[in-house]
Chains A and B, each alone.
Chain A
Amino acid sequence: DAKTTQPTSMDCAEGRAANLPCNHSTISGNEYVYWYRQIHSQGPQYIIHGLKNNETNEMASLIITEDRKSSTLILPHATLRDTAVYYCIAGETGTASKLTFGTGTRLQVTL
């Protein structure tokens, strides 16, 4: 899996958009960009993933640059419950494909 680089921590005011960046400059053509988050003492929760195009679902939006070397996860209206560690992972799809976690970004949403 390609290595990803994320800021160690970020703060965001409640109600504002949280923009979490990720660099994956060595991503290969068949690797997707996945985002997961982990709230303390729980298993990681899937957020969103994409290959080339920007993606949006009920949780977040994923913006991938045209060269695919970086991406941004956007939580449009952050709430206190969004406080978690967010992991950006570059990996292949398929039931036999494992994902390698980096250190992630600790997002703190404040009042």
Chain B
Amino acid sequence: NTKITQSPRYLILGRANKSLECEQHLGHNAMYWYKQSAEKPPELMFLYNLKQLIRNETVPSRFIPECPDSSKLLLHISAVDPEDSAVYFCASSRDRIDERLFFGHGTKLSVL
């Protein structure tokens, strides 16, 4: 699946700042960040529609999303915590009421 690309694939951090990147080539208007911790289901973190943040779940303030254009999504993480170790998935859909999501490969974040 090269329609949604995420980088990096793997990330090992101490208490540092880092950004995850996502780009979709599907012409979709809605983009999402999901977090999946070990043995848990994916959980929605942020949802953008047409570059506007419309759902901001209760996530720690050290996670800051950014949507520079409708095809790109960033997730800035500052001062990561061990509980942040997880796989972070980017996803997109045609629009915010289309629940058919297309997911990227994910970025596996390991916090030392």
- Whether chain B is bound by chain A comes out as no
Q: B residues touching A (Cβ–Cβ < 8 Å)? A: none
